[in-house]
Amino acid sequence: MLNVLLITFPFFALVLGGYLAARRGMLPLAAIPGLNGFVLFFALPAMLYRFGSTTPIAQLLDFSVAGVYLVCGLIMVAFAIVWSLNRRIRWNDASLGALVAAFPNTGFMGVPLLAALLGPESAGPVIVLIVVDMVITTSLCVALSQLDGEPGESGGHAMMVAGRKALRGVLGNPMPWAILLGGAASSLSFSLPGPVEKTVWLLADAASPVALFTIGAVLARSQIQANHPMPLSDYLPVSLMKLVLHPLLVLAVGASAIQLGVPLEPFALTVMVLVAALPSASNVSLLAERLGADNGRIARIILVTTSAAFLTFSGAVALLT
User: Residue 284: how many CA atoms within 13 Å on its side-chain side?
Assistant: 37
Q: What's the pLDDT tens digit per position in 41-68?
A: 899 899 989 988 988 888 888 999 999 9
- Rounded Cα gap, residues 103 and 130, in angstroms: 9
- Rounded Cα gap, residues 286 and 274, in angstroms: 24
CA angle 103, 76, 254 (to 5 degrees): 90
User: Residue 272: its pLDDT value, please?
Assistant: 97
- Rounded Cα gap, residues 233 and 321, in angstroms: 34
User: Residue 169: its pLDDT value, please?
Assistant: 64
User: Residue 3: its pLDDT value, please?
Assistant: 80
- Rounded Cα gap, residues 316 and 321, in angstroms: 8
User: Residue 227: its pLDDT value, please?
Assistant: 60
Q: What's the pLDDT tens digit per position in 77-88?
A: 999 999 999 888
User: Residue 276: its pLDDT value, please?
Assistant: 97
Question: What is the DSSP secondary-structure string of 81-108?
Answer: HHHH-SSSS-HHHHHHHHHHHH-B-III
User: Residue 263: its pLDDT value, please?
Assistant: 94
- Rounded Cα gap, residues 53 and 267, in angstroms: 20
User: Residue 91: how many CA atoms within 13 Å on its side-chain side?
Assistant: 16
Backbone angles phi, psi at 191, to 5 degrees: -125, 140
Please report, for residues 166, 222, 261, the alpha-carbon distance to residue 69 in angstroms, rounded to integers and kept in the order given.
Answer: 20, 29, 16
- Which stretches of the chain score pLDDT less than 50? 151-152
Which residues on neighbouring strands pair with residue 41, listed in sequence order? none
User: Residue 153: its pLDDT value, please?
Assistant: 53
Quote helix, strand, coil % in the chain, to nearest 5: 80, 0, 20
In order of start, what are the domains of the chain with their CATH numbers? Answer: 2-320 (1.20.1530.20)
- Rounded Cα gap, residues 186 and 122, in angstroms: 16
- Tell me the average pLDDT of the chain: 88
User: Residue 254: its pLDDT value, please?
Assistant: 97
